[in-house]
Chains A and B, each alone.
Chain A
């Protein structure tokens, strides 16, 4: 990241804290990487309507990512744009949670990952819309309505699969087994999140955990699914740039064109 003194923003009478840029990139990366994963379902959905649903969700998330990247680029100054931030940073610079980058697996894994993430994002944006930073607040306020749909859709699918056939029940049980250890990171703040909270523009994610768990319990109960141990060991690292090997493959796919033909437009 650039230092404060190298990141002037015109019309700004005060220095932009590094943590605001990093925090905004973290929000952007989460939305972009999960949006990219969801977009991989395009043309492969189990039925046409759900193919359209998951790609609509993907579109909403990539839209959110663009808003955050545009803002981060404006704060960074120099020659940063939404595209340089999305296409020209390497895996270590990405600050998304590990949950967002995990492979799609089967429909149960995708649906459960979306439910865990949307339930988190719903609570996050509810608070972020009151951020002291007016642009972060505006992006959150706008995105919250869309996230509400994502949460409803993914909750309904978790219930359908859990309370469905023995096969669908088993598949979502497997998905819980695979994904649960990646949920803890959502509520474990990185240094820049703590700074963002103390400066008033960020959300204290630790405080979201209780409501998130309650939401998971309510949906899992209706889905006849067991709620795993909330104190189980949790995998972390994505928020500080230590990713699973999967992110490299996503970036190789997503960034190939801009890396091979720099500045290419069409």
Chain B
């Protein structure tokens, strides 16, 4: 067991790099940007996470996997706290994470918030097809297989693909 007074929070961040999102298994919790803080408080390890979407069913599993990973590495007194504010945004996703998404076949979120207002039938900025790199793509549905994704189709290679939407 690792004595709490010797905890190096850098080492904790390193361990968390190997905890993956069960829904998008190429992304670690670090890539997603959902780890908000790692601290040692009163001899215990406090990990603060924030949900991507309010109703995301993966959050409970993610929280459990973080606990398991830390226990496996000898950290026994682990508290996982959830905070809602400030609300998670795709801007917190790492560049490495975005590259991994694209390689996995999911178009990564654009850097700028393009369409996060309620105005109807807005022109979406062109989303690049993660397979053939064409910008000639169209939105099929704003809601995809998970809360964080929208469904697109490439007009050139005709493949449908997921877009990790701006949030």
Residues on A lying within 8 angstroms of B by beta carbon are 49-50, 52-53, 56-57, 59-64, 66-67, 122, 134, 137-139, 141-146, 148-149, 151-153, 155-156, 159, 219, 222
12 example contacts (A-B, Cβ-Cβ < 8 A) are as follows A59-B147, A60-B147, A64-B55, A66-B54, A139-B54, A139-B84, A144-B87, A145-B167, A152-B117, A152-B119, A152-B142, A153-B143
Q: Which chain A positions have C-beta within 8 A of B120?
A: 152, 155-156, 159, 219, 222
Q: Secondary structure at chain B's binding surface: helix, strand, loop or mixed?
A: loop
Across the interface, name the chain A residue whose C-beta is closest to B57.
A59
- Name the contact of B85 in the complex, choosing from A52, A60, A141, A219 (C-beta under 8 A): A141
B83, CB-defined interface residue at 8 Å: yes
B147 close to A142 (CB less than 8 A): no
A49 close to B141 (CB less than 8 A): yes
Q: Which chain A positions have C-beta within 8 A of B86?
A: 141
B54 close to A149 (CB less than 8 A): no
B84 close to A56 (CB less than 8 A): no
Q: Bound state CA distance, A62 and B56, in angstroms?
A: 10
Residues on B lying within 8 angstroms of A by beta carbon are 51, 53-57, 83-88, 116-122, 140-145, 147, 151, 167
4 pairs of A and B residues whose beta carbons are closest in the complex: A63-B55, A63-B54, A138-B85, A49-B141
Q: Bound state CA distance, A84 and B135, in angstroms?
A: 50
Q: Which chain A positions have C-beta within 8 A of B85?
A: 134, 137-138, 141-142
Having A53-B141, A60-B147, A67-B54, one finds 13 other A-B pairs with CB under 8 Å, namely A52-B144, A53-B143, A60-B54, A61-B55, A62-B55, A134-B85, A138-B85, A141-B87, A142-B88, A146-B147, A152-B142, A156-B120, A156-B121
